[in-house]
Amino acid sequence: MSERLPITGGLNQSAEAFLHWLENVKRASRHTVISYQNDLGHFFTFLSGHYGAKINLSHLKKLPARDIRAWLASRLADYEAASNARALSAIKRFYRWLEKEEGVENAAIFHIRGPKLGKPLPKALGEAQAAQALEFIATQHEEAWLNARDLALLLLMYGCGLRIGEALSLSPGDVQGVDALRITGKGNKQRLVPMLPVVAQAIDTYKSLCPHPLSASAPLFVGKQGKALDPAIFQLQLRKLRTALNLPDSATPHAFRHSFATHLLSAGGDLRTIQELLGHASLSTTQRYTHVDKTRLLSAYRQAHPRK
């Protein structure tokens, strides 16, 4: 810790020992250690200004919950909720270390709840990126049937909005001669999802090329040995895809489900229909996609508003 911080020598030594423990015993990264150091520095600086004096271990031991909340409130204008949650976590961890190593106890800190973090917005691919991904995934194996399998699986996620687990749970009987899939999703909730001709054709191509017998009730998607396909195998293919096409790390199997919803919304699909297709229990979950597709929403607003 910097000697310029408004803390006494004893507290400075404790903070230095804590950071040393974090780096050398817990093997935290240098980046993490610096983040903890900055959070402690911000905490000590606020308390010094709050009390009008240098801070010592006695202050920390007697610190009331209201002063900890005041410190958190002081960060709201300059830091996002995630940063504030991390900072509070850092201070709590310092207090746990103080309690164990130096006998400095203060239960108040552990009754403070961090800021509520909003759910991250869905991260969809662009339409051109999705098209590139479909083209790429169909060319990565020497065996044609494996390429057909991966293409059919990816099309189920992008063309039907399925989760990877939902797609891998399908059997040949589920897709035989149907134009809609009956999917059992989270909470055993069932939904009907239209199956586009391009998806049905990809599945038929895979089934015709697959060298392993596919009975009506067995898994539709199988690995090289004919057993149910391990999702990790397909996830590996997507990691290769991300590297080759320079796609972000967010381009996971679930991103193609997000892309399904976002691209439907862009094309004029309504939220209620998309909610049913995705199997969301609450419309508020589906409404997250409206934040992703701001361009379409602004365009619709400009076209429809009476004072455009």
Contact yes or no for 268/297 (Cβ under 8 A): no
Q: Give the active site residues.
A: 163, 186, 254, 257, 280, 289
List, for residues 4-26, the tens digit of each pLDDT value.
678 887 899 999 999 999 999 99
Is residue 232 scored above 60 in pLDDT?
yes
Is residue 303 scored above 60 in pLDDT?
no
Domain-ending residue, one of 79, 111, 143 = 111
Q: Looking at the structure, do residues 199 and 226 belong to the same domain, yes or no?
A: yes
List, for residues 33-69, the tens digit of each pLDDT value.
999 999 999 999 999 999 999 999 999 999 999 999 9
When mean pLDDT is compared over 52-61, 173-182, 266-275, 282-291, the highest value belongs to 52-61
Q: Looking at the structure, do residues 23 and 140 belong to the same domain, yes or no?
A: no
pLDDT at 305: 47
DSSP one-letter string for 153-178: HHHHHHHH---HHHHHT--HHHHTT-
Q: Looking at the structure, do residues 105 and 150 belong to the same domain, yes or no?
A: no
Residue 4 lies in a domain: no
Q: Hey, is 193 helix, strand or coil?
A: strand
Is residue 70 scored above 90 in pLDDT?
yes
pLDDT band (50, 70, 90) for residue 136: very high
Residue 3 lies in a domain: no
| Tally of domains within the chain | 2
pLDDT at 297: 45
276: Cβ contacts below 8 Å, ≥ 6 apart: 191
Give the CATH number, domain containing residue 107.
1.10.150.130
Q: Looking at the structure, do residues 88 and 164 belong to the same domain, yes or no?
A: no
Residue 61 lies in a domain: yes
265: Cβ contacts below 8 Å, ≥ 6 apart: 271, 274, 289, 290, 292, 293, 296
Note down the domain range covering 44. 9-111
β-pairing verdict for 190-194 and 180-184? antiparallel
Q: Three-state SS string across 59-78, please?
A: HHHHCCHHHHHHHHHHHCCC
Is residue 302 scored above 60 in pLDDT?
no
Contact yes or no for 46/5 (Cβ under 8 A): no
List, for residues 85-106, the tens digit of each pLDDT value.
999 999 999 999 999 999 999 9
pLDDT at 170: 93
The Cβ of residue 159 has, within 10 Å, a number of other Cβ atoms equal to 22
Helical H segments across the chain, by residue range? 9-24, 30-51, 57-62, 65-75, 81-102, 127-137, 144-160, 164-168, 172-175, 197-209, 231-245, 253-266, 271-278, 283-286, 288-292, 294-304
pLDDT at 45: 93
Distance CA 7, CA 11 (A): 6
Distance CA 192, CA 23 (A): 52
Give the CATH number, domain containing residue 150.
1.10.443.10
The Cβ of residue 295 has, within 10 Å, a number of other Cβ atoms equal to 9
Q: Hey, is 7 helix, strand or coil?
A: strand
Distance CA 237, CA 195 (A): 24
Q: Looking at the structure, do residues 171 and 297 belong to the same domain, yes or no?
A: yes
Q: Give the tokens for residue 27.
A: 């093997």
pTM over the 0.75 mark: no
Residue 272 lies in a domain: yes
Percent of the chain with pLDDT over 90: 52
